[in-house]
Structure 1
Amino acid sequence: MRSPAEAFDAIERTMWDGRAQAYAASFARLCAYPVGALLDAAEVTAGTYVLDAGTGTGTAAMAARRRGARVRAVDADAGMVAAARAGGVDARVAALPELPFADGEFDAVVANFVLNHVGRPRAALAELRRVLRPGGRLVLTLWSARRGAGQDLLVRACEAGGAVPPAGLPRRDPAEDFARTPEGLAELLEEAAFTAVESTELEWDHRATVEEWWGGAAAGVATIGLVVTSQEPETVVRIRQEYERLSGEFADGGGRLALPHVALLAHARA
Protein backbone atom coordinates (compact mmCIF):
# COMPACT_ATOMS: atom_id res chain seq x y z
CA MET A 1 0.00 0.00 0.00
CA ARG A 2 1.38 3.40 -1.00
CA SER A 3 2.17 6.01 1.61
CA PRO A 4 0.49 9.45 1.32
CA ALA A 5 3.77 10.87 -0.03
CA GLU A 6 4.02 8.14 -2.66
CA ALA A 7 0.39 8.70 -3.66
CA PHE A 8 1.04 12.44 -3.98
CA ASP A 9 4.06 11.82 -6.21
CA ALA A 10 2.15 9.33 -8.36
CA ILE A 11 -0.66 11.83 -8.99
CA GLU A 12 1.89 14.53 -9.85
CA ARG A 13 3.58 12.21 -12.39
CA THR A 14 0.23 11.44 -14.03
CA MET A 15 -0.79 15.11 -14.01
CA TRP A 16 2.28 16.20 -15.99
CA ASP A 17 2.64 13.20 -18.29
CA GLY A 18 2.36 14.24 -21.93
CA ARG A 19 1.79 17.93 -21.16
CA ALA A 20 5.22 19.45 -21.78
CA GLN A 21 4.16 21.20 -24.98
CA ALA A 22 0.93 22.50 -23.43
CA TYR A 23 2.90 23.81 -20.45
CA ALA A 24 5.44 25.48 -22.75
CA ALA A 25 2.60 27.25 -24.58
CA SER A 26 0.84 28.47 -21.44
CA PHE A 27 2.25 28.58 -17.91
CA ALA A 28 5.97 28.31 -18.77
CA ARG A 29 6.36 32.06 -19.27
CA LEU A 30 4.78 32.67 -15.88
CA CYS A 31 7.27 30.35 -14.18
CA ALA A 32 10.16 31.94 -16.07
CA TYR A 33 9.66 35.31 -14.39
CA PRO A 34 11.89 34.67 -11.31
CA VAL A 35 14.72 32.98 -13.23
CA GLY A 36 16.98 36.03 -13.34
CA ALA A 37 16.64 36.63 -9.60
CA LEU A 38 17.05 32.89 -8.98
CA LEU A 39 20.39 32.76 -10.82
CA ASP A 40 21.59 36.01 -9.26
CA ALA A 41 20.91 34.65 -5.77
CA ALA A 42 22.71 31.42 -6.69
CA GLU A 43 25.70 33.53 -7.80
CA VAL A 44 25.72 31.80 -11.18
CA THR A 45 28.48 33.15 -13.42
CA ALA A 46 30.90 31.76 -16.00
CA GLY A 47 32.30 28.45 -14.81
CA THR A 48 29.76 27.81 -12.03
CA TYR A 49 28.70 24.14 -11.96
CA VAL A 50 24.91 24.25 -11.61
CA LEU A 51 22.16 21.68 -11.15
CA ASP A 52 18.69 22.73 -12.28
CA ALA A 53 16.44 20.38 -10.29
CA GLY A 54 12.97 20.05 -11.82
CA THR A 55 14.05 21.83 -14.98
CA GLY A 56 10.70 21.61 -16.77
CA THR A 57 11.28 22.73 -20.35
CA GLY A 58 14.75 23.97 -19.38
CA THR A 59 14.21 27.71 -18.92
CA ALA A 60 16.51 28.20 -15.92
CA ALA A 61 19.12 25.78 -17.26
CA MET A 62 19.32 27.60 -20.59
CA ALA A 63 19.59 30.97 -18.82
CA ALA A 64 22.44 29.61 -16.70
CA ARG A 65 24.22 28.36 -19.83
CA ARG A 66 23.94 31.83 -21.35
CA ARG A 67 25.88 33.09 -18.33
CA GLY A 68 28.67 30.65 -19.14
CA ALA A 69 27.82 28.16 -16.40
CA ARG A 70 28.30 24.41 -16.70
CA VAL A 71 24.79 23.01 -16.27
CA ARG A 72 23.16 19.66 -15.57
CA ALA A 73 19.41 19.27 -15.22
CA VAL A 74 16.84 16.73 -14.10
CA ASP A 75 13.08 16.42 -14.25
CA ALA A 76 10.68 13.65 -13.28
CA ASP A 77 8.80 13.92 -16.59
CA ALA A 78 10.33 12.48 -19.77
CA GLY A 79 8.49 14.98 -21.97
CA MET A 80 9.95 17.90 -20.04
CA VAL A 81 13.43 16.38 -20.31
CA ALA A 82 13.00 15.99 -24.06
CA ALA A 83 11.98 19.64 -24.36
CA ALA A 84 14.97 20.76 -22.29
CA ARG A 85 17.33 18.63 -24.38
CA ALA A 86 15.89 20.19 -27.53
CA GLY A 87 17.07 23.52 -26.11
CA GLY A 88 20.59 22.19 -25.68
CA VAL A 89 20.37 21.30 -21.98
CA ASP A 90 22.21 18.27 -20.55
CA ALA A 91 19.08 16.85 -18.92
CA ARG A 92 18.01 13.45 -17.69
CA VAL A 93 14.97 11.88 -16.07
CA ALA A 94 15.30 11.75 -12.27
CA ALA A 95 12.89 12.49 -9.45
CA LEU A 96 13.51 13.94 -6.02
CA PRO A 97 14.43 12.78 -3.45
CA GLU A 98 16.85 10.57 -5.41
CA LEU A 99 19.40 12.20 -7.72
CA PRO A 100 22.07 10.41 -9.80
CA PHE A 101 24.94 12.65 -8.73
CA ALA A 102 27.87 12.39 -6.32
CA ASP A 103 28.06 14.03 -2.93
CA GLY A 104 29.20 17.65 -3.13
CA GLU A 105 29.20 17.72 -6.94
CA PHE A 106 27.66 21.15 -7.59
CA ASP A 107 28.54 24.75 -6.79
CA ALA A 108 24.87 25.75 -6.95
CA VAL A 109 21.46 24.10 -7.14
CA VAL A 110 18.36 25.90 -8.36
CA ALA A 111 14.81 24.60 -8.10
CA ASN A 112 12.23 26.84 -9.76
CA PHE A 113 8.69 26.00 -8.55
CA VAL A 114 9.66 22.41 -7.75
CA LEU A 115 9.22 21.89 -4.00
CA ASN A 116 5.44 22.22 -4.34
CA HIS A 117 5.44 19.16 -6.63
CA VAL A 118 7.18 16.65 -4.34
CA GLY A 119 5.50 14.57 -1.68
CA ARG A 120 8.48 14.67 0.72
CA PRO A 121 9.91 18.20 0.67
CA ARG A 122 12.25 17.57 3.62
CA ALA A 123 13.78 14.52 1.97
CA ALA A 124 14.06 16.50 -1.27
CA LEU A 125 15.96 19.29 0.49
CA ALA A 126 18.28 16.77 2.16
CA GLU A 127 19.11 15.36 -1.26
CA LEU A 128 19.72 18.80 -2.74
CA ARG A 129 22.07 19.57 0.16
CA ARG A 130 23.87 16.26 -0.41
CA VAL A 131 24.83 17.13 -3.98
CA LEU A 132 26.02 20.64 -3.06
CA ARG A 133 29.66 21.27 -2.16
CA PRO A 134 30.24 22.77 1.31
CA GLY A 135 29.31 26.42 1.07
CA GLY A 136 27.40 25.85 -2.18
CA ARG A 137 24.20 27.80 -2.84
CA LEU A 138 20.64 26.49 -2.97
CA VAL A 139 18.01 28.82 -4.41
CA LEU A 140 14.39 27.91 -4.86
CA THR A 141 11.04 29.43 -5.67
CA LEU A 142 7.62 28.32 -4.50
CA TRP A 143 4.08 29.60 -4.78
CA SER A 144 3.12 31.57 -1.68
CA ALA A 145 0.16 31.09 0.59
CA ARG A 146 -0.59 34.75 -0.09
CA ARG A 147 -2.01 34.64 -3.58
CA GLY A 148 -2.21 37.35 -6.17
CA ALA A 149 -5.63 38.04 -7.70
CA GLY A 150 -4.44 36.68 -11.04
CA GLN A 151 -3.71 33.30 -9.48
CA ASP A 152 -7.36 32.89 -8.60
CA LEU A 153 -8.90 33.88 -11.94
CA LEU A 154 -9.24 30.32 -13.24
CA VAL A 155 -10.27 29.04 -9.80
CA ARG A 156 -13.04 31.63 -9.64
CA ALA A 157 -14.18 30.70 -13.14
CA CYS A 158 -14.39 27.03 -12.15
CA GLU A 159 -16.42 27.86 -9.05
CA ALA A 160 -18.76 30.19 -10.96
CA GLY A 161 -19.19 27.59 -13.71
CA GLY A 162 -20.24 24.90 -11.23
CA ALA A 163 -17.14 22.71 -11.45
CA VAL A 164 -16.93 19.80 -9.03
CA PRO A 165 -13.33 19.12 -7.94
CA PRO A 166 -12.31 15.56 -8.87
CA ALA A 167 -11.31 13.06 -6.22
CA GLY A 168 -7.81 12.60 -7.65
CA LEU A 169 -6.28 15.97 -6.89
CA PRO A 170 -2.78 15.85 -5.31
CA ARG A 171 -2.97 16.35 -1.55
CA ARG A 172 0.20 16.35 0.50
CA ASP A 173 0.39 14.47 3.78
CA PRO A 174 -0.14 17.13 6.52
CA ALA A 175 2.90 15.72 8.32
CA GLU A 176 5.03 16.69 5.29
CA ASP A 177 3.55 20.14 4.77
CA PHE A 178 4.91 23.50 5.88
CA ALA A 179 3.84 27.15 5.97
CA ARG A 180 4.05 28.73 2.51
CA THR A 181 5.32 32.03 3.90
CA PRO A 182 8.81 33.56 3.91
CA GLU A 183 9.16 32.53 7.55
CA GLY A 184 7.81 29.02 6.98
CA LEU A 185 10.11 28.35 4.04
CA ALA A 186 13.11 29.71 5.96
CA GLU A 187 12.31 27.41 8.87
CA LEU A 188 12.09 24.44 6.50
CA LEU A 189 15.52 25.19 5.05
CA GLU A 190 17.06 25.65 8.49
CA GLU A 191 15.50 22.36 9.58
CA ALA A 192 17.27 20.76 6.59
CA ALA A 193 20.62 22.06 7.98
CA PHE A 194 21.09 24.89 5.48
CA THR A 195 22.73 28.08 6.76
CA ALA A 196 22.64 31.78 5.84
CA VAL A 197 18.97 31.36 4.94
CA GLU A 198 17.05 34.27 3.46
CA SER A 199 13.47 34.13 2.20
CA THR A 200 11.28 36.79 0.65
CA GLU A 201 8.22 37.34 -1.53
CA LEU A 202 8.17 38.25 -5.19
CA GLU A 203 5.21 40.09 -6.71
CA TRP A 204 4.59 40.73 -10.40
CA ASP A 205 1.88 41.08 -13.03
CA HIS A 206 2.06 38.26 -15.55
CA ARG A 207 0.98 39.37 -19.03
CA ALA A 208 -0.87 36.83 -21.15
CA THR A 209 -3.64 36.76 -23.72
CA VAL A 210 -7.05 35.39 -22.79
CA GLU A 211 -6.43 32.34 -24.99
CA GLU A 212 -2.94 31.67 -23.66
CA TRP A 213 -4.06 31.70 -20.03
CA TRP A 214 -7.05 29.50 -20.77
CA GLY A 215 -5.03 27.11 -22.93
CA GLY A 216 -3.01 25.61 -20.08
CA ALA A 217 -6.09 24.75 -18.04
CA ALA A 218 -7.97 23.45 -21.09
CA ALA A 219 -5.04 21.15 -21.89
CA GLY A 220 -4.99 19.70 -18.37
CA VAL A 221 -1.83 21.44 -17.15
CA ALA A 222 -1.31 21.56 -13.36
CA THR A 223 -4.00 21.12 -10.72
CA ILE A 224 -6.34 23.66 -12.31
CA GLY A 225 -6.07 21.68 -15.54
CA LEU A 226 -7.12 18.50 -13.74
CA VAL A 227 -10.18 20.32 -12.44
CA VAL A 228 -11.20 21.72 -15.83
CA THR A 229 -10.63 18.57 -17.87
CA SER A 230 -12.47 16.34 -15.40
CA GLN A 231 -15.77 18.19 -15.91
CA GLU A 232 -18.66 17.33 -18.21
CA PRO A 233 -18.50 19.19 -21.57
CA GLU A 234 -21.38 21.50 -20.70
CA THR A 235 -19.65 22.46 -17.44
CA VAL A 236 -16.45 23.28 -19.32
CA VAL A 237 -18.49 25.59 -21.57
CA ARG A 238 -19.85 27.38 -18.50
CA ILE A 239 -16.38 27.66 -16.98
CA ARG A 240 -15.07 29.20 -20.19
CA GLN A 241 -17.95 31.69 -20.26
CA GLU A 242 -17.28 32.69 -16.66
CA TYR A 243 -13.58 32.93 -17.37
CA GLU A 244 -14.17 35.35 -20.24
CA ARG A 245 -16.46 37.43 -18.04
CA LEU A 246 -14.09 37.55 -15.07
CA SER A 247 -10.99 38.12 -17.16
CA GLY A 248 -12.27 41.59 -18.01
CA GLU A 249 -11.15 42.65 -14.52
CA PHE A 250 -7.54 42.12 -15.61
CA ALA A 251 -7.55 43.63 -19.11
CA ASP A 252 -4.49 45.84 -19.55
CA GLY A 253 -5.89 47.88 -22.42
CA GLY A 254 -3.41 46.40 -24.86
CA GLY A 255 -5.12 43.13 -25.65
CA ARG A 256 -3.62 41.19 -22.75
CA LEU A 257 -4.39 40.34 -19.15
CA ALA A 258 -2.28 41.71 -16.29
CA LEU A 259 -2.45 38.91 -13.72
CA PRO A 260 -1.00 39.67 -10.26
CA HIS A 261 1.04 36.79 -8.80
CA VAL A 262 2.94 36.20 -5.56
CA ALA A 263 5.74 33.69 -5.03
CA LEU A 264 8.48 32.95 -2.52
CA LEU A 265 12.20 33.03 -3.27
CA ALA A 266 14.67 31.62 -0.77
CA HIS A 267 18.42 31.06 -0.82
CA ALA A 268 20.78 29.36 1.55
CA ARG A 269 24.18 27.68 1.84
CA ALA A 270 25.03 24.03 2.33
Structure 2
Amino acid sequence: MSQAAPSSSTAFDANERTAWAGRGDAYAASFGRLCARPVGELLDAAGVAAGSRVLDVGTGPGTVAAAAGARGAEVTAVDAEPSMLELARRHAPQACAVLATLPELPFPDGEFDAVVANFVLNHVGRPLLALAELRRVLRPGGRLALTIWSGSPAPGQTLVPRALQAAGAVRPPHLGPLDPADDFPRTTDGLAGLLTAAGLREADCRTLDFDHATTVDEWWSGPASGVATVGQTLLAQSPEVRAAARSHYERLATEYRTGPDGTNSPDALLLPHSALLATAVR
Protein backbone atom coordinates (compact mmCIF):
# COMPACT_ATOMS: atom_id res chain seq x y z
CA MET A 1 0.00 0.00 0.00
CA SER A 2 1.43 3.39 -0.97
CA GLN A 3 1.91 6.01 1.72
CA ALA A 4 0.33 9.44 1.52
CA ALA A 5 2.66 12.30 0.67
CA PRO A 6 3.64 14.44 3.67
CA SER A 7 1.54 17.53 4.23
CA SER A 8 3.01 20.72 2.83
CA SER A 9 1.95 22.55 6.00
CA THR A 10 3.36 21.83 9.45
CA ALA A 11 2.83 22.95 13.04
CA PHE A 12 5.83 25.24 12.49
CA ASP A 13 3.98 26.93 9.61
CA ALA A 14 0.83 27.35 11.69
CA ASN A 15 2.82 28.98 14.50
CA GLU A 16 4.46 31.34 11.99
CA ARG A 17 1.07 32.48 10.70
CA THR A 18 -0.12 33.18 14.23
CA ALA A 19 3.10 34.89 15.29
CA TRP A 20 3.15 37.32 12.35
CA ALA A 21 -0.58 38.12 12.27
CA GLY A 22 -1.10 41.88 12.28
CA ARG A 23 2.57 42.67 12.93
CA GLY A 24 3.51 44.30 9.62
CA ASP A 25 3.99 47.79 11.05
CA ALA A 26 5.96 46.55 14.08
CA TYR A 27 8.29 44.55 11.84
CA ALA A 28 8.81 47.39 9.37
CA ALA A 29 9.76 49.78 12.17
CA SER A 30 12.31 47.42 13.73
CA PHE A 31 13.74 44.28 12.16
CA GLY A 32 12.52 45.31 8.71
CA ARG A 33 15.23 47.96 8.54
CA LEU A 34 17.84 45.31 9.30
CA CYS A 35 16.52 42.92 6.66
CA ALA A 36 16.70 45.66 4.05
CA ARG A 37 20.50 45.76 4.26
CA PRO A 38 21.36 43.08 1.63
CA VAL A 39 18.60 43.97 -0.87
CA GLY A 40 20.95 45.40 -3.50
CA GLU A 41 23.26 42.38 -3.38
CA LEU A 42 20.25 40.05 -3.50
CA LEU A 43 18.90 41.66 -6.68
CA ASP A 44 22.36 41.71 -8.26
CA ALA A 45 22.76 38.00 -7.50
CA ALA A 46 19.43 37.26 -9.19
CA GLY A 47 20.35 39.33 -12.23
CA VAL A 48 17.36 41.63 -11.82
CA ALA A 49 17.34 44.37 -14.45
CA ALA A 50 14.93 46.40 -16.56
CA GLY A 51 12.32 44.13 -18.12
CA SER A 52 12.95 41.18 -15.80
CA ARG A 53 9.86 39.29 -14.65
CA VAL A 54 10.58 39.02 -10.92
CA LEU A 55 8.84 37.18 -8.10
CA ASP A 56 9.55 38.57 -4.62
CA VAL A 57 8.53 35.82 -2.19
CA GLY A 58 7.77 36.86 1.38
CA THR A 59 7.87 40.49 0.39
CA GLY A 60 7.12 41.80 3.90
CA PRO A 61 6.78 45.59 3.70
CA GLY A 62 7.77 45.51 0.02
CA THR A 63 11.38 46.66 0.34
CA VAL A 64 12.76 44.20 -2.22
CA ALA A 65 9.78 44.68 -4.55
CA ALA A 66 10.25 48.47 -4.52
CA ALA A 67 13.98 48.14 -5.23
CA ALA A 68 13.35 45.72 -8.10
CA GLY A 69 10.72 48.04 -9.53
CA ALA A 70 13.19 50.93 -9.36
CA ARG A 71 15.43 48.88 -11.69
CA GLY A 72 12.60 48.68 -14.22
CA ALA A 73 11.64 45.07 -13.44
CA GLU A 74 8.10 43.72 -13.74
CA VAL A 75 7.47 42.66 -10.14
CA THR A 76 5.05 40.26 -8.49
CA ALA A 77 5.21 40.27 -4.69
CA VAL A 78 3.68 37.62 -2.44
CA ASP A 79 3.31 37.26 1.31
CA ALA A 80 1.28 35.09 3.64
CA GLU A 81 0.46 37.96 6.02
CA PRO A 82 -2.18 40.55 5.00
CA SER A 83 -0.65 43.34 7.12
CA MET A 84 2.61 42.89 5.22
CA LEU A 85 0.87 43.03 1.86
CA GLU A 86 -0.86 46.26 2.89
CA LEU A 87 2.55 47.83 3.46
CA ALA A 88 3.96 46.34 0.25
CA ARG A 89 1.15 47.84 -1.81
CA ARG A 90 1.97 51.21 -0.29
CA HIS A 91 5.75 51.01 -0.66
CA ALA A 92 5.84 49.24 -4.03
CA PRO A 93 2.66 50.34 -5.83
CA GLN A 94 4.02 49.24 -9.20
CA ALA A 95 4.19 45.60 -8.02
CA CYS A 96 1.36 43.09 -8.29
CA ALA A 97 0.83 42.05 -4.64
CA VAL A 98 -0.68 38.59 -4.04
CA LEU A 99 -1.61 36.77 -0.83
CA ALA A 100 0.08 33.36 -1.00
CA THR A 101 1.89 30.92 1.26
CA LEU A 102 4.82 28.67 0.47
CA PRO A 103 5.12 25.96 -0.65
CA GLU A 104 2.07 26.52 -2.87
CA LEU A 105 2.17 29.51 -5.21
CA PRO A 106 -0.64 30.45 -7.62
CA PHE A 107 1.54 30.82 -10.72
CA PRO A 108 2.20 28.67 -13.80
CA ASP A 109 5.43 26.78 -14.33
CA GLY A 110 8.28 28.94 -15.63
CA GLU A 111 6.46 32.24 -15.07
CA PHE A 112 9.44 34.30 -13.86
CA ASP A 113 12.95 35.22 -15.01
CA ALA A 114 14.12 35.67 -11.41
CA VAL A 115 12.89 34.71 -7.95
CA VAL A 116 14.14 36.43 -4.79
CA ALA A 117 13.44 35.51 -1.18
CA ASN A 118 14.90 37.82 1.47
CA PHE A 119 15.06 36.10 4.88
CA VAL A 120 12.07 33.92 4.04
CA LEU A 121 13.34 30.32 4.04
CA ASN A 122 13.83 30.49 7.83
CA HIS A 123 10.05 30.99 8.17
CA VAL A 124 8.81 27.86 6.38
CA GLY A 125 8.29 24.43 7.87
CA ARG A 126 9.47 22.46 4.83
CA PRO A 127 12.37 24.37 3.23
CA LEU A 128 13.06 21.74 0.57
CA LEU A 129 9.46 21.78 -0.65
CA ALA A 130 9.52 25.58 -0.65
CA LEU A 131 12.64 25.64 -2.82
CA ALA A 132 11.17 23.08 -5.20
CA GLU A 133 8.16 25.39 -5.62
CA LEU A 134 10.41 28.39 -6.29
CA ARG A 135 12.25 26.32 -8.89
CA ARG A 136 8.93 25.39 -10.52
CA VAL A 137 7.90 29.00 -11.15
CA LEU A 138 11.33 29.92 -12.58
CA ARG A 139 11.83 29.69 -16.32
CA PRO A 140 14.63 27.39 -17.52
CA GLY A 141 17.84 29.36 -17.08
CA GLY A 142 16.20 31.74 -14.59
CA ARG A 143 17.99 32.67 -11.39
CA LEU A 144 17.00 32.27 -7.75
CA ALA A 145 18.65 34.36 -5.01
CA LEU A 146 17.84 34.17 -1.33
CA THR A 147 19.12 35.18 2.07
CA ILE A 148 18.85 33.51 5.47
CA TRP A 149 20.48 34.17 8.82
CA SER A 150 23.68 32.28 9.47
CA GLY A 151 23.66 29.36 11.88
CA SER A 152 26.65 31.01 13.55
CA PRO A 153 24.91 34.18 14.74
CA ALA A 154 26.87 37.41 15.05
CA PRO A 155 26.74 39.35 18.35
CA GLY A 156 24.00 41.70 17.15
CA GLN A 157 21.69 38.75 16.56
CA THR A 158 22.24 37.36 20.05
CA LEU A 159 21.74 40.60 22.02
CA VAL A 160 18.03 40.17 22.85
CA PRO A 161 18.25 36.36 23.31
CA ARG A 162 21.09 36.92 25.80
CA ALA A 163 18.90 39.33 27.74
CA LEU A 164 16.05 36.82 27.79
CA GLN A 165 18.37 34.09 29.01
CA ALA A 166 19.76 36.32 31.75
CA ALA A 167 16.21 37.06 32.91
CA GLY A 168 15.35 33.37 33.11
CA ALA A 169 12.87 33.46 30.22
CA VAL A 170 11.64 30.09 28.97
CA ARG A 171 10.80 29.57 25.31
CA PRO A 172 7.21 28.32 24.94
CA PRO A 173 7.09 24.68 23.78
CA HIS A 174 4.95 25.50 20.72
CA LEU A 175 7.76 27.71 19.36
CA GLY A 176 10.00 24.74 18.78
CA PRO A 177 12.43 24.40 15.85
CA LEU A 178 11.83 22.61 12.58
CA ASP A 179 11.37 18.89 12.53
CA PRO A 180 14.94 17.51 12.18
CA ALA A 181 13.85 15.70 9.01
CA ASP A 182 13.10 19.06 7.40
CA ASP A 183 16.00 21.10 8.76
CA PHE A 184 19.38 21.75 7.16
CA PRO A 185 22.76 23.18 8.24
CA ARG A 186 22.63 26.98 8.22
CA THR A 187 26.07 27.17 6.59
CA THR A 188 27.26 28.05 3.10
CA ASP A 189 27.64 24.37 2.21
CA GLY A 190 24.38 23.41 3.90
CA LEU A 191 22.30 26.00 2.06
CA ALA A 192 23.98 25.31 -1.29
CA GLY A 193 23.34 21.61 -0.76
CA LEU A 194 19.66 22.24 -0.10
CA LEU A 195 19.35 24.22 -3.34
CA THR A 196 20.93 21.34 -5.22
CA ALA A 197 18.62 18.83 -3.53
CA ALA A 198 15.67 20.93 -4.76
CA GLY A 199 16.78 20.38 -8.35
CA LEU A 200 18.52 23.71 -8.92
CA ARG A 201 21.86 24.03 -10.71
CA GLU A 202 25.05 26.01 -10.11
CA ALA A 203 24.22 26.54 -6.45
CA ASP A 204 26.56 28.92 -4.68
CA CYS A 205 26.49 30.56 -1.26
CA ARG A 206 28.55 33.17 0.55
CA THR A 207 28.52 34.96 3.88
CA LEU A 208 27.48 38.59 4.27
CA ASP A 209 28.80 40.37 7.36
CA PHE A 210 27.55 43.86 8.15
CA ASP A 211 26.87 46.27 11.00
CA HIS A 212 23.33 47.53 11.54
CA ALA A 213 22.84 51.03 12.97
CA THR A 214 19.83 51.30 15.28
CA THR A 215 18.90 52.61 18.72
CA VAL A 216 18.27 51.00 22.07
CA ASP A 217 14.52 51.59 21.90
CA GLU A 218 14.10 50.74 18.21
CA TRP A 219 15.88 47.39 18.53
CA TRP A 220 13.79 46.48 21.55
CA SER A 221 10.53 47.57 19.90
CA GLY A 222 10.40 44.52 17.61
CA PRO A 223 10.53 41.89 20.36
CA ALA A 224 8.34 44.05 22.63
CA SER A 225 5.68 43.95 19.89
CA GLY A 226 5.94 40.19 19.53
CA VAL A 227 7.88 40.20 16.27
CA ALA A 228 9.53 36.88 15.35
CA THR A 229 10.25 33.98 17.70
CA VAL A 230 12.24 36.17 20.06
CA GLY A 231 9.27 38.51 20.39
CA GLN A 232 6.79 35.69 20.91
CA THR A 233 9.07 34.31 23.60
CA LEU A 234 9.26 37.69 25.33
CA LEU A 235 5.48 38.19 25.32
CA ALA A 236 4.96 34.71 26.80
CA GLN A 237 6.84 35.68 30.00
CA SER A 238 5.44 37.17 33.17
CA PRO A 239 5.57 40.98 33.58
CA GLU A 240 8.41 40.53 36.07
CA VAL A 241 10.52 38.49 33.65
CA ARG A 242 9.82 40.92 30.81
CA ALA A 243 10.97 43.84 32.99
CA ALA A 244 14.11 41.94 34.01
CA ALA A 245 14.83 41.14 30.35
CA ARG A 246 14.65 44.84 29.47
CA SER A 247 17.08 45.67 32.29
CA HIS A 248 19.53 43.01 31.14
CA TYR A 249 19.12 44.20 27.55
CA GLU A 250 20.05 47.76 28.49
CA ARG A 251 23.10 46.48 30.37
CA LEU A 252 24.26 44.24 27.53
CA ALA A 253 23.60 46.92 24.90
CA THR A 254 26.39 49.06 26.31
CA GLU A 255 28.79 46.76 24.42
CA TYR A 256 27.45 48.12 21.12
CA ARG A 257 26.73 51.78 21.84
CA THR A 258 28.35 54.13 19.37
CA GLY A 259 27.70 57.63 18.06
CA PRO A 260 28.15 58.88 14.49
CA ASP A 261 31.72 59.91 15.30
CA GLY A 262 32.57 56.49 16.73
CA THR A 263 32.28 57.59 20.36
CA ASN A 264 29.93 56.03 22.88
CA SER A 265 26.34 57.23 22.77
CA PRO A 266 23.59 56.60 25.32
CA ASP A 267 21.11 55.51 22.64
CA ALA A 268 22.76 54.61 19.32
CA LEU A 269 23.74 51.00 18.66
CA LEU A 270 25.90 49.38 15.99
CA LEU A 271 25.07 45.69 15.87
CA PRO A 272 27.18 43.14 13.94
CA HIS A 273 25.14 40.66 11.86
CA SER A 274 25.92 37.69 9.65
CA ALA A 275 23.73 36.34 6.85
CA LEU A 276 24.02 33.86 3.99
CA LEU A 277 23.34 34.83 0.35
CA ALA A 278 22.72 31.91 -2.01
CA THR A 279 22.10 31.75 -5.74
CA ALA A 280 21.15 29.00 -8.17
CA VAL A 281 19.79 28.46 -11.68
CA ARG A 282 16.91 26.39 -12.97
Runs of 4+ more than 2 Å apart: 2-5
Alignment partner of 1:6 out of 10, 24, 27: 10
> Which residue identity does 1:97 align to in structure 2?
P
1:199-218 aligned within 5 A: 199-218=205-224
- Residue deviations 1:109-159 (CA, integer Å, cap 9, x gap): 000001110011111111101100000000000111111011100001001
Q: Hey, what does 1:261 align to over in structure 2?
A: 273
1:59-70 aligned within 5 A: 59-70=63-74
Alignment partner of 1:168 out of 157, 174, 177: 174
Is 1:226 aligned to residue 225 of structure 2?
no
Deviation at 1:234, TM superposition (A): 1.2
Alignment partner of 1:242 out of 241, 248, 258: 248
- TM-score, with length taken from structure 2: 0.93
CA–CA distance in structure 2, aligned partners of residues 48 and 92 of structure 1? 18
Alignment partner of 2:89 out of 74, 85, 91: 85
CA–CA distance in structure 2, aligned partners of residues 226 and 168 of structure 1? 10
CA–CA distance in structure 2, aligned partners of residues 258 and 196 of structure 1? 35
- Residue deviations 1:85-131 (CA, integer Å, cap 9, x gap): 11213211100010011110100000000111001111111110110
> Which residue identity does 1:53 align to in structure 2?
V
Greater displacement, 163-172 / 88-97: 163-172
| Identity of matched residues, % | 59
> Which residue identity does 1:75 align to in structure 2?
D
Is 1:25 aligned to residue 37 of structure 2?
no
Deviation at 1:267, TM superposition (A): 0.4
> Which residue identity does 1:258 align to in structure 2?
L
Contact kept in structure 2, 1:189 and 1:197, CA below 8 Å: yes
Contact kept in structure 2, 1:5 and 1:173, CA below 8 Å: no
Deviation at 1:15, TM superposition (A): 0.5
CA–CA distance in structure 2, aligned partners of residues 4 and 70 of structure 1? 29
CA–CA distance in structure 1, aligned partners of residues 131 and 176 of structure 2? 20
Q: How many residues align?
A: 269
Q: Hey, what does 1:108 align to over in structure 2?
A: 114
CA–CA distance in structure 1, aligned partners of residues 164 and 8 of structure 2? 27
Q: Hey, what does 2:3 align to over in structure 1?
A: none
- TM-score, with length taken from structure 1: 0.97
Deviation at 1:170, TM superposition (A): 4.0
Unaligned runs of 5+ in 2: 1-5
Q: Hey, what does 1:46 align to over in structure 2?
A: 50
Q: Hey, what does 1:36 align to over in structure 2?
A: 40
Deviation at 1:253, TM superposition (A): 2.9
Q: Hey, what does 1:182 align to over in structure 2?
A: 188
Unaligned runs of 5+ in 1: none
